[in-house]
Amino acid sequence: MSDRSLAKDSLQPKSFSFNKENAAWAKKRIALYPKGRQQSAVIPLLMRAQDQESWVSRAAMEKIADMLKMPYIRVLEVATFYTQFQLKPVGTRAHVQVCGTTPCMLRGAEDLRAVCQKKIHASPHQTNASGTLSWEEVECLGACVNAPMVAIGHDTYEDLTPERLEEIIDEFEAGRGDEVMTGPQNGRVFSAPLSGMTTLLEVPQHEPAKPAKAPRKTGPKAAPGPGAGAVKPSGGTLFARPEGEADDLKMISGVGPVLEKKLNAFGVTRFDQVAKLTKKDIAALDAALNFKGRIERDDWVKQARALSRGVDEYERVFGKKPK
């Protein structure tokens, strides 16, 4: 059973407020609920507070209670019930959640836990000396077929070996967490068999076989994952690579060198292409990049729209220079 007590007073900040962007998001979120039901926004608001600060302080709970006109104890009950909410400060660069439930345990979760103990701290919920990393053991995170796995933030890293987890932790510690490939780490696509497909091998008569155009990290034998066959951004399996010089897509916050390379491989090389992505394109790219939700979360489209008009426009829209 996990310890759900709040952090000691000396660790609690005196106050909490959402930053400008999150405050606007919270206002919109609260407005989604029918009149008199605004308290239903408590979980999304707590999660947003955690995304902003890495954990949920008592001040954040009280602020959210005030925003939703709830008694403090009601928000405290929610935050302490769900183990997704971190009630104590966690590593500023990564909080590693190691799944320790049976399938992951049988496939090596204990070795992953040992890596965390060696590289971060002997005990869970404690930060390393520089305060940048922390870890904990959690129950099943729903990726059992790709066991063993860990979650860091909103992403999962699956089919892990202790060596690969060490590398991933090093990347986060070096501030390059955004560049680490999410999902399976052994080259397979989603949860497709590493050795290639064993069923559904025939191509249906009415659908002529098309050559696979998307580059795969899994080598020639890898089979497409459940979503991969359905991935069809508008304009075909790949985007048509535009003429002319490629833009530096890394200027989009959330895109690092690895992602830029993948986007280029899918034919996306320019800001104006990203700016025009439709919902369908985004869903397809999400699936192809194995990067669920991040395109929308980091608002690549809005960023790219501004960048396609110039750095000044980006600065005007976001109040800061692009990376």
- 151: helix, strand or coil: strand
Q: What angle do CA 97, 103, 108 make, to 5 degrees?
A: 65
Residues 262-281 that bind ligand FES (CB under 6 A): none
Choose one: 79-87, 140-148, 293-301, 313-321; the region binding ligand FES (CB under 6 A): 140-148
- Residue 147 engages ligand FES in binding (rule: CB under 6 A): yes
277 touches 300 (CB < 8 A): yes
CA distances from residue 303 to 62, 225, 230, 238, 296 in whole angstroms, order as listed: 33, 30, 27, 22, 11
- Residue 143 engages ligand FES in binding (rule: CB under 6 A): yes
Distance CA(152)–CA(82), nearest Å, equals 17
User: Number of residues in contact with ligand FES, rule: CB under 6 A?
Assistant: 11
Choose one: 15-23, 29-37, 48-56, 136-144; the region binding ligand FES (CB under 6 A): 136-144
- Residue 104 engages ligand FES in binding (rule: CB under 6 A): yes
Q: Which of residues 98 and 285 has its CB atom nearest to ligand FES in the complex?
A: 98
Choose one: 50-58, 66-74, 100-108, 267-275; the region binding ligand FES (CB under 6 A): 100-108
Distance CA(64)–CA(77), nearest Å, equals 13
Choose one: 135-143, 185-193, 228-236, 246-254; the region binding ligand FES (CB under 6 A): 135-143
Give the residue, chosen from 6, 59, 141, 181, that forms a contact with ligand FES under the rule CB under 6 A: 141
Choose one: 24-32, 139-147, 221-229, 234-242; the region binding ligand FES (CB under 6 A): 139-147
Taking CB atoms within 8 Å and a gap of at least 24, the contacts of 52-57 are 52/18, 52/19, 52/22, 53/16, 54/86, 54/89, 54/90, 54/91, 54/92, 54/95, 55/7, 55/85, 55/86, 55/87, 55/88, 55/89, 55/90, 56/85, 56/86, 56/87, 57/7, 57/12, 57/13, 57/16
- Residue 251 engages ligand FES in binding (rule: CB under 6 A): no
Phi, psi dihedral angles at 158 (to 5 degrees): -120, 170
Give the residue, chosen from 6, 140, 181, 265, that forms a contact with ligand FES under the rule CB under 6 A: 140
Residues 57-86 that bind ligand FES (CB under 6 A): none
Choose one: 20-28, 43-51, 80-88, 144-152; the region binding ligand FES (CB under 6 A): 144-152
Q: Which of residues 143 and 277 has its CB atom nearest to ligand FES in the complex?
A: 143
Give the residue, chosen from 149, 168, 223, 295, that forms a contact with ligand FES under the rule CB under 6 A: 149
Indicate the burial class of 224 (C-beta count within 10 angstroms; 0-12, 13-18, 19 or more): middle
- Residue 101 engages ligand FES in binding (rule: CB under 6 A): yes
Give the residue, chosen from 42, 76, 90, 99, that forms a contact with ligand FES under the rule CB under 6 A: 99
Q: Which residues pair with 302 in a beta bridge?
A: none
Minimal distance, residue 104 CB to ligand FES, in Å: 3
Distance CA(133)–CA(97), nearest Å, equals 11
Binding-site ranges for ligand FES (CB under 6 A): 99, 101, 103-104, 140-144, 147, 149
